[in-house]
Structure 1
Amino acid sequence: MELTERFAWEGRRIACGRAGAGPPVVFCHGTPFSSALWQPFAEALSRDFTVHLWDMPGYGSSSQHAGHPVDFGAQADAFAALLGHWGLDRPHVIAHDFGGAVSLRTHLSLGVGYASLMLVDVVAIPPSGSPFFRFVQEHPDVLGGLPAYIHAAIVRAYIQGASHRGLRDDDLDALVRPWTGDDGQPAFYRQIAGYDERFLEENERHLGRVRIPVRILWGTRDAWIPVEVAQRLRSLIPGAELALIEDAGHLMHHDAPVPLMDEIRAWLAGR
């Protein structure tokens, strides 16, 4: 499934695509990833659903302009505009990592309705951010000027740490590639520097207003965001369900693709 569409929004170029037929399902990726993580799952679901993928501005195949904010607020505004462009009314939304906070803000602060929401190892509530993440926030300009080979090695090590089982070289290459080159390298550090936890605090204050079905999936070996965060998130969302996936890290897509696909199908079938 290719991102063959380009949606122009406030000077940005958002790469997106859709396929299949049936009820709409929209996938939201996280950082430092792209819609490529969700592509195999979207393809598998396209027989029964109309699946929608997009790269957030600053990520993947979308534009990476230095002057454009890439924080949670900007991404939520972009998501709401894209859903309007697609003409979707109450789609099912499945989100990973940063996409969790974006989808929650789009629903809670912008009033966009969903049929259901599945949250997979998400950034959603404070605190968040690894020591590396915080270091980058303090030195974005210095790191953006690193020699390309050192930068590539840092990004490879960082992304590899998101998987409990370890990533194959070709999969790791695909995840690292958007963050290399003259545009990708500074964009990698810029999206971390623009990270603002105040949006997570705002989300947390409003989670009690969620009235849609929510299921939370979490890898028991997530080294980026511990399971305790998932448990607290479930306690804050009325009626939310939580399922723990054994031996999966933050990149459940690669660590446990079959259990993840089973969870997605069962969740959507029950809606």
Structure 2
Amino acid sequence: METFDWRGRRIAWSRAGSGPAVVFCHGTPWSSWLWQPFAEALSDDFTVYLWDMPGYGRSSKEADHAVDFGVQAEAFQALLTHWGLDRPHVVAHDYGGAVSLRAHLVHGLPYASLLMADVVAIPPSGSPFFRLVKEHPDVLAQVPPYIHEALVRAYIGNAGFRQLREADLTALTAPWLGEAGQPAFYRQIAAYDESFLVENEDRLGRIDLPVRVLWGVEDTWIPQATGERLAAGIPGATFTPVPDAGHLIQLDAPVALATELRSWLTRVSPGLPGDAER
């Protein structure tokens, strides 16, 4: 994992493979770990980029650094410039949807295509626990570590349609433990501002690029109807429901997701085998 220094933050990122650029954006409370196997599977035909947003995963988690949608979109813009990318394909999950949309709609970043899976992108969003934390972030940040760990494990475990493997649950929980991780977990929820999502929805009609929206049919965090509304607001976008998958579509339906990713990226990447199918 390499790092990029931006406004005092340390952004962890990695790159692999060759071919058209594909950038993966994670959400909350996740990290690039969720996208790692999918990026590896595509690296024979694409140059894949993974990054942990500031305040997440292996990136820095300083208390005085803002982590809202606006800051993350600016960080994404700076990172694409650092990588020297122009018009990459973008794949987003959860919070990554709002970040990638804002970077495109507000900051004018051009993409070759955009695939969004179970994204936080338009209002409303947020589970009951998410809303509880947002109302009491300072109190919950002070609970004993063992209680905090139990809360985070229960919260993350609830995101999937299938019961998570212990190894996966441990990997997803780990960044939010310890002296830096625990307060960072509550801080990133407290920073949530739905006005960014309202602004996104107001601008959806301006999008002029290939867009695909995937949604786990069993997503209890953000219902399928929200995904359908998102796709309907984007000119030419297509919507695909994924059976037997919840919000953690990467772990619930990895084969279906991998198939959709490769099919989509092959179709929208000129010169790759399968492009003639467009």
Same-fold call, TM cutoff 0.5: yes
Q: Deviations over 1:6-52 (max 9, x none)?
A: 10000000000100000000000000000000000001111110000
Q: Deviations over 1:228-258 (max 9, x none)?
A: 1011111111110000000100001000000
Shift of 1:212: 0.5
Aligned residues: 268
- Consecutive unaligned residues of structure 1, counting only runs of 5 or more, are none
Amino acid in the other structure paired with 2:214: L
4+ residue stretches of structure 1 with deviation over 2 A? Answer: none
1:215 pairs with one of 212, 220, 236: 212
Q: Percent identity?
A: 67
Corresponding position of 2:194: 197
1:102 aligns with 2:99: yes
Shift of 1:166: 1.2
Distance in 2 of aligned mates of 1:38 and 1:97: 12
Amino acid in the other structure paired with 1:98: Y
Distance in 1 of aligned mates of 2:172 and 2:75: 22
Corresponding position of 2:151: 154
2:4 pairs with one of 4, 7, 11: 7
Shift of 1:131: 1.4
TM-score relative to the length of structure 1: 0.98
Distance in 1 of aligned mates of 2:163 and 2:118: 17
Aligned to 2:71, the other structure's residue is in SS state helix
Shift of 1:222: 0.3
Q: Deviations over 1:75-103 (max 9, x none)?
A: 00000000000000100000000000000
Amino acid in the other structure paired with 1:255: D
Distance in 2 of aligned mates of 1:121 and 1:128: 11
1:81 pairs with one of 78, 82, 85: 78
Corresponding position of 1:266: 263
TM-score relative to the length of structure 2: 0.96
Q: Deviations over 1:191-244 (max 9, x none)?
A: 000000010011011000000100000000001000010111111111100000
Please list, as runs of the form range in 1=range in 2, the aligned pairs for 1:1-271 lying within 5 A after superposition.
4-271=1-268
- Consecutive unaligned residues of structure 2, counting only runs of 5 or more, are 269-278
Amino acid in the other structure paired with 1:195: Y
Superposed CA RMSD in Å reads: 0.4
Amino acid in the other structure paired with 1:266: S
Distance in 2 of aligned mates of 1:9 and 1:98: 20
